[in-house]
Amino acid sequence: MPQAATQEGEASGSGPTLVLRRGRSSTVSATPTTTTRSMALVRARRKPPGSQSPQEPPVRSPTSKRKRGAAANQESKERTRTRDEEEEEEEDGVSSAGSSPIRAPQIPDALYEDLDMLKAIQDIHDAYDEKLGRQMELPTLYLHTCKPPTCLSTNPKLLRVRESTTKTVLAAAPSVIGLSSSVGRHSLTRCSGFWVDWDEENKKGTVLTTAHLIRTKSPSSNDWLGKDEYAPKAKVFVHFRDATTEKATMLYYEKHYNLAMFEVRVDEPVQLLSFNDDVKSAEEVFELGRDESSFLTIGHGMVQYLNPNLLERHHYLYVHGTDEHPKYDNGGPVIDFDGKIVGMLYMYVSLLHACMSIHCGLRKRGTENKQILRMSRPHLGLKFSAIKLLDPPLIEQILVKCSIDSGLIVQEVSEGSPAEKLGFRVGDVIECLNGKHVSTTVELENMLLSKYVEGSSGLNSEVDIEVWVFHMRRSLWRSKTLTVKVSDDAEVIVRGGMHPSPTKFLRFVVGNSHLWH
């Protein structure tokens, strides 16, 4: 039978670490019973009095002490400190390994033929796998085995700025947090967010994220149908970078702009990023978020100025080159190469500023009146696209035929809306609202939101908006007063359908009978 390792050299890795040792119950020792570290610590802590004791500083005569004065005392203190440091370094050196080195089991082939040893051999391999698994959980090794590299490591276009952008991302990372939600025992989703405020007096931080965090149903991809359902009383937790969690309290959520704001207890001040309102088309940006393990996620792309399609809201921020359906960074910040926030995924920073102003209003009015203020906006009942974001040949055709090179093209009119009753039709062009020129849908949303952020008295009320519109079918400019509802709910565009009477339908069928043959 192989003999158990007894020498210190074997325990430290110079010989086989895992050996077989038969006992009364045929058990196996996977590792030596006494490691190098433990033996060294025992020797260091059980030194007999007087053995290798540090030498005392030489005793000086009173005359010598008077000559040297404070210098002697200082030298004595330095020597004492040096001895203490040496003892501490010696003990640190002994225990720095933390455990014995990992060695793969080397089992002689003959032992596998012994049926009584199979269980012991399996225990040895299990112990080795367990120790190897613990090693791979170390922060310095874990990422290399389970996390794919980010764009900063794989994108060749970022090689020239990798060092500077890495610093930028790491500087912004403390502002990015993860959030999760649940209703009862049912988990809803996990997403990202970022700090936007810090209440030093109450030790609370405010997080801005997406309302998708508390969304329970989304039956349609058409945002304008307003079919999404939410759970305002859902339980929400904030996941910090160190993997700790804290329950959050919802301040409010906004369906139309897909925003939600939460408050959470934080003992230390949080990091707040600055904002950049002047993001340019084709400007390179990073999308930041955190995954289920609170690891930082990084996406890279360029800002695109695009018209929304008929399923999307007017305020979207488009970033080319990133995942169209991100799993975790939905709600996280989009930052420029200077580390400033230019928006959230699908939302420009200008709208975030409006959200911040609402939060400031809530803070001023006191925590007992948090539901007084809302992010309200007029519901125009219209969908638009911007002329300036069309392909140049299309812009030229509109300019040649209509002498118009800027404004918003009406893409859809909600059935039964005030706009439809006033004669607004698909293809018309709106150039001004309340005397202010509007050239993109984002500008439109900024104008509406900045003017109509009101208290509860403004909710579900009506306002008049002066609209300068070009009726394409008549080739005429007209000024129309559009009276619309102001609401904090998501705007719904109802697509109209033709409902002919039975008589008209029969006439249509008879008159077009040749089509059925």
* Owner of token pair 């007063």: 481
Q: Which residue has the higher pLDDT, 140 or 282?
A: 282
Residue 444 has pLDDT above 90, yes or no: yes
Whole-angstrom distance, CA of residue 58 vs CA of residue 396 = 97
The closest alpha carbon to 435, from 450, 447, 421, belongs to 447
What is the predicted pLDDT for the residue at 340? 96
pLDDT, tens digit, 9 for 90 and up, residues 133-154: 888 888 777 655 567 888 998 8
What is the predicted pLDDT for the residue at 204? 95
Q: Of 71-75, 409-413, 506-510, which has the strongest mean pLDDT?
A: 409-413
Identify whether the C-beta of residue 352 lies closer than 8 Å to the C-beta of residue 208.
Answer: yes
Whole-angstrom distance, CA of residue 66 vs CA of residue 242 = 56
Range of lowest pLDDT (56-60, 317-321, 358-362): 56-60
Whole-angstrom distance, CA of residue 192 vs CA of residue 355 = 17
What is the predicted pLDDT for the residue at 78? 53
How many Cβ atoms from other residues are within 10 Å of residue 314's Cβ?
A: 24
| AA identity, residue 264 | V
What is the predicted pLDDT for the residue at 82? 54
Average confidence (pLDDT) over 226-253? 94
Backbone CA torsion sign across 488, 490, 496, 501: negative
What is the predicted pLDDT for the residue at 13? 39
Predicted model pTM:
0.72
What is the predicted pLDDT for the residue at 148? 80
Average confidence (pLDDT) over 253-262? 91
What is the predicted pLDDT for the residue at 192? 95
Residue 459 has pLDDT above 70, yes or no: no
Backbone angles phi, psi at 297, to 5 degrees: -110, 140
What is the predicted pLDDT for the residue at 498? 63
Q: CA 344, 443, 325: angle at the middle one, nearest 5? A: 30
Domains of the chain, start order: 1-47+91-146 (no CATH), 161-373 (2.40.10.120), 377-487 (2.30.42.10)
**Residue 484 Cα distances to 149, 311, 376, 420, 462, angstroms:** 50, 22, 12, 12, 5
Task: Provide the pLDDT confidence category of residue 30 given band limits of 50, 70 and 90.
Answer: very low
What is the predicted pLDDT for the residue at 509? 60
What is the predicted pLDDT for the residue at 512? 64
pLDDT, tens digit, 9 for 90 and up, residues 93-105: 444 456 678 889 8
What is the predicted pLDDT for the residue at 451? 63
Whole-angstrom distance, CA of residue 491 vs CA of residue 314 = 11
Residue 1 has pLDDT above 60, yes or no: no
pLDDT, tens digit, 9 for 90 and up, residues 178-187: 999 999 999 9
Range of lowest pLDDT (110-124, 158-172, 286-300, 469-483): 110-124
Residue 290 has pLDDT above 60, yes or no: yes
